[in-house]
Structure formats: C-alpha cells, structure tokens
Amino acid sequence: VRLVESGGGLVQPGGSLRLSCAASGFTFSSAAMAWYRQAPGNQRELVAYIFTPEIKKYTDSVRGRFTISRDNAKSTVYLQMNSLKTEDTAIYYCNKPSVRQGTYHFPGDDWGQGTQVTVSS
C-alpha cells in the first residue's frame, strides 16, 4: 500500500485548498478512505471518510466547509477545504481503514507521509 498526499500550503483565513491522495497497491475502488489531521501538541483526529459518493462523514468542526470525494479511475481521494480557519492548521494525512472480520477499523495501518496546511494571515 502506498499513499501520497499533495496540495498543502499556506493560505489566508477564508481561503481554500484541495488536498489529493494518490493510492496504489490495493483495489482502491472497493476501499474506504479517510483524511486525518494532527496539529502541534494535539492527537491525530479523523477529519472525514468516504465509502462511496453517497456514504461519507465529517467531523463536526469541518462539516459544511470541507468535502471529501474520490475518483476511482485515478485511485485518488480528495479533500476540498473551503472557508479555512486558523484552527485548521495541521499536517493532513491520508489513511486506508483496515477491514477485519468484515468490520472497518479506523484508522488503518496504512498512512501517507502527510501534507502541511497552514492557515495564517
């Protein structure tokens, strides 16, 4: 499994970024995918996950501002981030949840290297 994030950067409050995670080494179309983030001094937290375009979920602090999506033809999952706030500053990680005995486990063991998002004026 290989997960490679991109798209992070420095943006002003209220701005937007789109993160991408290119996946390989597994059957992407049948896998759930997730985005996590970790701010300095904080634990890594689940931001959003997606099973299908109809089945996705967000943590409360980003709902209505962030959108997770996937392109199975490109084996890529995206995180569109709008109306960014300073508290969104973190390293953002792509993750593939594990499946054991038919049940999804978050997070899975497979992580990308992370991409830094900094929201600052």
Query: What are 42-100's pLDDT values in tens digits?
Result: 999 999 999 988 899 999 999 999 999 999 999 999 999 999 999 999 999 999 999 89
First to last CA, the chain: 37
Q: CA-to-CA distance for 5 and 113, rounded, in angstroms?
A: 7
Q: CA-to-CA distance for 32 and 46, rounded, in angstroms?
A: 13
Q: Enumerate the β-bridge partners of residue 110.
A: 96
pLDDT number for residue 52:
85
Nearest partner of 7 among 66, 95, 80, judged by Cα: 80
Of the ranges 17-21, 94-98, 99-103, which one carries the lowest mean pLDDT score? 99-103
Q: CA-to-CA distance for 39 and 78, rounded, in angstroms?
A: 20
Q: Reply yes or no on whether the pLDDT at 102 is more than 90.
A: no
Percentage with pLDDT > 90 across the chain: 92
